[in-house]
Structure 1
């Protein structure tokens, strides 16, 4: 023990301090010294030594103050007094203050060390005794706490079923006091429907593994007037028989039953809620896909046994995204709730309406005699949904597209019926929306074709079948090539070279357009960097981006990161977007376009004149160019189209925007645009879109020819 024992020596004699300190240290004690009470108090508080060796006569009896300080601070430090004073009053006062021993100066060192060892030995015995007593006290308190303050409800009932013990947790859970329960039969608090079950639990005689375990029972709570208290609780209980000492024959005497229970009311409520959430849409309260599938599967089994039909309807709201994006998710959520209510009003009690996600719903009609029955319901739904919805002073209009499949003709299992109703719904979308169609085999064939194209696109991306072509943009003033537009092409292994019109719609619907767009961006930036290394610089490379790409949260960040990765100047990249894409979600699009414009990327409105953008919108947008839609150029012989081109040209000059005419294929179109002072043109009259190597050669040769012409002009002048 001495290795860890701390001893403080307090004496004003430095030589004595040094001597005692040396002796104690040689005996492996950790020693602190102090020459006055102030230093001593500091050490006592900081180090809490086990033993204090103190000269009482320190500075005219200041040692007594130190003993009082120890008592005041409730320190457990043992004290040995060393002093020249041997008067009865001084010595007796020291012992009354709790001093362990008193040594008269001068003393022998051996005597001193023996006294220290004895003090430490006695202290250790006392500490062990105190520790044991505290453990016993804690054990007793713990036992009382476990029973009285247990989180579990604890009952003891006698062999007649009457309560003889109830703990505090039982009082809190049931609202009854101990006095109200003691002596009562257990049936007093058991729900009537659980009485038979409770008899086995509250009169349990068995012990060990065969005793009652985890039995669930409902108990009645005390009804307290004017207080919103629980009427009943669910408990999960364990019970075991209690036996007294054996009788003369060695048989144990059954005295009652010990019941330990836990309140599981909240757990059961949570499980019920979790179960509800697992099978219901939380926004509308309607069944979700999982519950719908379960009901549909059961209904199919019944219909198969009874040889009857049923119908599945797949519903998708038209224009809901416009409402959600323009007015916010709160209005959108309220609209979905109102739509759900209106749909429910169109159905019978035996029908099932489910929301399966977003703005999509499904309906199960378990009893239909014919296709016409399902069509009648669909007509009611279409008519009901097209009526206006009023939310926060907004009068909103949406419509619904519906697809219908009939069991067993359109599918004999749940998956097939849902799939085919989905296909029919998309057919309704393509046919103009706000209507319904029943599934037809031809729809599936078309859908299979689209799926096949989607899979081929995926393969094409993996196998490097896609390629970027480049079409030059010419400045009419001097014939310089001032930019190129990147055009995606697909080297299809069976169908040859395909333009985007053959696959871009499928890519957009499947979401692959984003993956394609990422690939095009990387490819174009790589070409810019390569041409720059070869000394060929083109002012701008234009890439067209779709709405789905711009809707990506990281759209702008992704482009900026790619520019940095390829060390390409942002001013060399031009983003082309159509008016329609911008109008989908103008605020969101504007923020991303502005972020790109702020780092130097050029912005162009593609196919201008075919959308719905206003002059005020054009003034807001950070754009550099307007590209006239090719349809106006190709129909230029019509006077109306010429008026439109001239109007766009005047507007572009007024807004200080550069105008680009694309789709220029004839010389007369070129002459007209030159006369109109259109700065930049693009089209077959100069070059069609060509692979990167051909475009590079064309640009280099054109530049060389223009340089030669300029040189000849200088020489001739």
Structure 2
């Protein structure tokens, strides 16, 4: 990354090195300014940067871990080119910094502001720079604050410069008395500025002469203690404002520092003269002058607000904003600590992974406010089920985790899970609407199910998957067989992806026959997998892959592509096949754009929309995005595509779905057709569905017709179409033309009539 160079770069570097401040110890006063800037402007990081030939070095900082960076990757290299404050509202949008390693990586800088620092006009030796991870603009007042703080820093540099110059001049005693007086006035002015800095940063300086035990304070110390200026500095008075344990701790550190000539810094609780409890940071350095006199000096800073801000930031980073529960990161830390303790104590640790049932339906029907209220209620109920040493965390969405840290027996986890399920089952009202707060729970226990966080969480997730597959509202504990089943499912998913790539999936076509005329009026495309080793496989061998939205969508696109291609081939051969019905899963609707994909495929194959039927099960109506499903079906139906409701009567579909959605056909499930000859209940259900279709003007199609008697009964009761092994099994596309050419509709009717038996109604 290139960076600009000032025309007077040599003079600027000479100015910087003449200041003799590079690579020196941090300045408490300048760090106080950084802390002040951070608090006043609400930024995460502040630094006083000095720009050397090929690097920037931080003389002072707040909220910054590193000591500096290369000049090539510094924002300050650009700031020193400007006479005024430079602001970058969003570094990702600024071509100068979009590819900067500190923008694309840690600390992910988005906002930056920098004020050039110059002791003399045109020679910018450094920058007061502020940055944060979120885009931001500055108001005029905020810019003025930065400018004021930069002047304070420059004055500190000038004070340093003046002090250095004074020391040199005193050392060689070459300066006249008039010059010494001038330097004294300069020092007085700089000290006034230092006092201002002390006041803003809540910092004060102290000095202690070991031989005389004389203690001196700056004005900042008086302000921190809350003393009047008339109070004489006194060691015992100073120590009396620290609690006994803190006082003893400081005295031990101080005595060791005097003995070993070492510096130290310590944070201590403190009570000021008004009784306010505060937190202070006290630093101490020890030096011996030329006469062998021992002197200690340092800074005292009130860091109460700084620590409170840090604590708030820590809480925000480690807790969920909605529920106030610990988040995934903090949960993992606690889990690791619990596992370490359990290895020493030989006790058990339990992980309960909780997923709220039908939470998405609450969001979709009542809105996100209701969903948020449900999450808060669930968090409170789960929190009421655990002990003081246990923890509930929110992992995201509607997923929670309960961490049981001190179990005496592995069975305690199931007991706790049942307690949690009972608490979640209690009714919950939101704005006069009763919501379901039920959940499913997956359980994993250490050390039986794993000894590290990743394994435990993975196995709890596997158990949760089983709990939801078992009908939801239950708790399931992990066992090894679940892992095997999961691995088998993952292997199946991988093999299906390869099969899609290799073109191993093909639609087979089963005819639909008119019960009035005996003619073939259409086909249903049924998916088959031509496995290279196992032969032809039906959906019972791979149906679980439709639980994966991506695979379900890819298979759906494949069937649509091949079915429209096959229809085009039949048209080219002059075959009158009627229509072809293909099945659509919920995933194909939730992806969006289904009408466009279907109509584009028909258009590319030059097939009329009336030639295609879409079959859906009632689960499509009950899932997420009901409005999207409705819109998609209506768009397809208006274009001429027919809509069939498959497996009617086997689930939870409401009759209102026949009114709400554009349904042209209802398909009677084979489970009702199979026993209509012997089971009066099944016969009654079939009659009811047929009569319902007749009343609503909807065609009825019976699946799984295998005997002439079944066909005769269906015909006698007014069923429109039938499909099943009585007529034909599903055939590959290449055999459909021959089937159509050899079909004798009259013979079909005659054969069925001859073999039909009377079935009691």
TM over 0.5: yes
Give yes or no for the alignment of 1:405 onto 2:448.
no
In structure 2, the residue matched to 1:587 is 627
> How far apart are residue 161 of structure 1 and its match?
9.8
Does the CA-based 8 Å contact 1:147-1:167 persist in structure 2?
no
In structure 2, the residue matched to 1:696 is 737
Q: C-alpha separation between the residues in 2 aligned to 1:600 and 1:234?
A: 78
Q: C-alpha separation between the residues in 1 aligned to 2:400 and 2:429?
A: 21
Q: How big is each residue's C-alpha offset from its partner over 1:233-254, in whole Å with a ceiling of 9 and x where there is no partner?
A: 999xxxxxxxxxxxxxxxxxxx
In structure 2, the residue matched to 1:502 is 541
> How far apart are residue 477 of structure 1 and its match?
3.0
Does the CA-based 8 Å contact 2:646-2:668 persist in structure 1?
yes
> How far apart are residue 168 of structure 1 and its match?
13
In structure 2, the residue matched to 1:385 is 424
> How far apart are residue 660 of structure 1 and its match?
1.4
Does the CA-based 8 Å contact 1:161-1:186 persist in structure 2?
no
Does the CA-based 8 Å contact 2:198-2:220 persist in structure 1?
no
Q: How big is each residue's C-alpha offset from its partner over 1:443-498, in whole Å with a ceiling of 9 and x where there is no partner?
A: 32333322222222222222222111111112233333221111011122343222
In structure 1, the residue matched to 2:502 is 463
> How far apart are residue 708 of structure 1 and its match?
13
After superposition, residues 243-642 of structure 1 pair within 5 angstroms as 276=315, 278-509=317-548, 511-585=550-624, 586-637=626-677, 638-642=679-683
Q: C-alpha separation between the residues in 2 aligned to 1:185 and 1:368?
A: 57
> How far apart are residue 558 of structure 1 and its match?
2.9
Give yes or no for the alignment of 1:185 onto 2:216.
no
Does the CA-based 8 Å contact 2:355-2:440 persist in structure 1?
yes
User: 3-state SS of the aligned residue for 2:344?
Assistant: helix
User: 3-state SS of the aligned residue for 2:739?
Assistant: helix
Does the CA-based 8 Å contact 2:199-2:220 persist in structure 1?
no
Q: How big is each residue's C-alpha offset from its partner over 1:26-53, in whole Å with a ceiling of 9 and x where there is no partner?
A: xxxxxxxxxxxxxxxxxxxxxxxxxxxx
User: 3-state SS of the aligned residue for 1:686?
Assistant: coil
> How far apart are residue 581 of structure 1 and its match?
2.3
Change (3 A) 1:187 1:556: farther
> How far apart are residue 603 of structure 1 and its match?
0.8
Q: Which runs of 5+ in 1 are unaligned?
A: 1-135, 140-144, 177-182, 198-214, 221-230, 236-258, 710-717
TM-score, structure 2 as length reference: 0.60
Q: C-alpha separation between the residues in 1 aligned to 2:484 and 2:646?
A: 34
Q: How big is each residue's C-alpha offset from its partner over 1:620-677, in whole Å with a ceiling of 9 and x where there is no partner?
A: 2212111111112112122222222222222212211122112111111111222223
User: 3-state SS of the aligned residue for 1:340?
Assistant: helix
Q: C-alpha separation between the residues in 1 aligned to 2:652 and 2:481?
A: 35
In structure 2, the residue matched to 1:675 is 716
> How far apart are residue 570 of structure 1 and its match?
2.0
Does the CA-based 8 Å contact 1:151-1:169 persist in structure 2?
no
Does the CA-based 8 Å contact 1:626-1:660 persist in structure 2?
yes
Q: C-alpha separation between the residues in 1 aligned to 2:603 and 2:552?
A: 23
User: 3-state SS of the aligned residue for 1:664?
Assistant: coil
Q: C-alpha separation between the residues in 2 aligned to 1:659 and 1:549?
A: 25
Does the CA-based 8 Å contact 2:525-2:582 persist in structure 1?
yes
User: 3-state SS of the aligned residue for 1:339?
Assistant: helix
Does the CA-based 8 Å contact 1:544-1:577 persist in structure 2?
yes
Q: C-alpha separation between the residues in 2 aligned to 1:147 and 1:510?
A: 53
Does the CA-based 8 Å contact 1:351-1:364 persist in structure 2?
yes
Does the CA-based 8 Å contact 1:471-1:695 persist in structure 2?
no
User: 3-state SS of the aligned residue for 1:395?
Assistant: strand
Does the CA-based 8 Å contact 2:517-2:746 persist in structure 1?
no
Superposition CA RMSD, Å: 5.0
Does the CA-based 8 Å contact 2:348-2:410 persist in structure 1?
no
Q: C-alpha separation between the residues in 2 aligned to 1:352 and 1:554?
A: 43
Q: How big is each residue's C-alpha offset from its partner over 1:389-444, in whole Å with a ceiling of 9 and x where there is no partner?
A: 11111122332222222211211211111122222233333444333233222332
User: 3-state SS of the aligned residue for 1:561?
Assistant: helix
> How far apart are residue 694 of structure 1 and its match?
1.3
> How far apart are residue 170 of structure 1 and its match?
6.3
In structure 2, the residue matched to 1:33 is none
Does the CA-based 8 Å contact 1:573-1:602 persist in structure 2?
yes
Q: C-alpha separation between the residues in 2 aligned to 1:511 and 1:269?
A: 47
Q: C-alpha separation between the residues in 2 aligned to 1:168 and 1:520?
A: 80
User: 3-state SS of the aligned residue for 1:315?
Assistant: strand
Q: C-alpha separation between the residues in 1 aligned to 2:147 and 2:644?
A: 78
Change (3 A) 1:432 1:185: same
Q: C-alpha separation between the residues in 2 aligned to 1:492 and 1:273?
A: 59
User: 3-state SS of the aligned residue for 2:508?
Assistant: strand
User: 3-state SS of the aligned residue for 2:506?
Assistant: strand
User: 3-state SS of the aligned residue for 1:437?
Assistant: strand
Q: C-alpha separation between the residues in 2 aligned to 1:329 and 1:146?
A: 41
Q: How big is each residue's C-alpha offset from its partner over 1:200-227, in whole Å with a ceiling of 9 and x where there is no partner?
A: xxxxxxxxxxxxxxx9999x9xxxxxxx
Q: How big is each residue's C-alpha offset from its partner over 1:70-124, in whole Å with a ceiling of 9 and x where there is no partner?
A: xxxxxxxxxxxxxxxxxxxxxxxxxxxxxxxxxxxxxxxxxxxxxxxxxxxxxxx
Q: C-alpha separation between the residues in 2 aligned to 1:515 and 1:270?
A: 50
> How far apart are residue 316 of structure 1 and its match?
1.9
Change (3 A) 1:369 1:387: same
Change (3 A) 1:410 1:616: closer
Does the CA-based 8 Å contact 1:148-1:169 persist in structure 2?
no
Does the CA-based 8 Å contact 1:150-1:169 persist in structure 2?
no
Q: C-alpha separation between the residues in 2 aligned to 1:547 and 1:321?
A: 15
Does the CA-based 8 Å contact 2:361-2:623 persist in structure 1?
yes
Change (3 A) 1:433 1:536: same
Q: C-alpha separation between the residues in 1 aligned to 2:723 and 2:548?
A: 29
Does the CA-based 8 Å contact 1:575-1:603 persist in structure 2?
yes
User: 3-state SS of the aligned residue for 1:291?
Assistant: helix
Does the CA-based 8 Å contact 2:195-2:219 persist in structure 1?
no
> How far apart are residue 388 of structure 1 and its match?
0.9
Change (3 A) 1:379 1:608: closer
Q: C-alpha separation between the residues in 2 aligned to 1:276 and 1:427?
A: 34
> How far apart are residue 332 of structure 1 and its match?
1.4
TM-score, structure 1 as length reference: 0.63
Q: C-alpha separation between the residues in 2 aligned to 1:520 and 1:147?
A: 65
Does the CA-based 8 Å contact 1:148-1:168 persist in structure 2?
no
Change (3 A) 1:432 1:650: closer
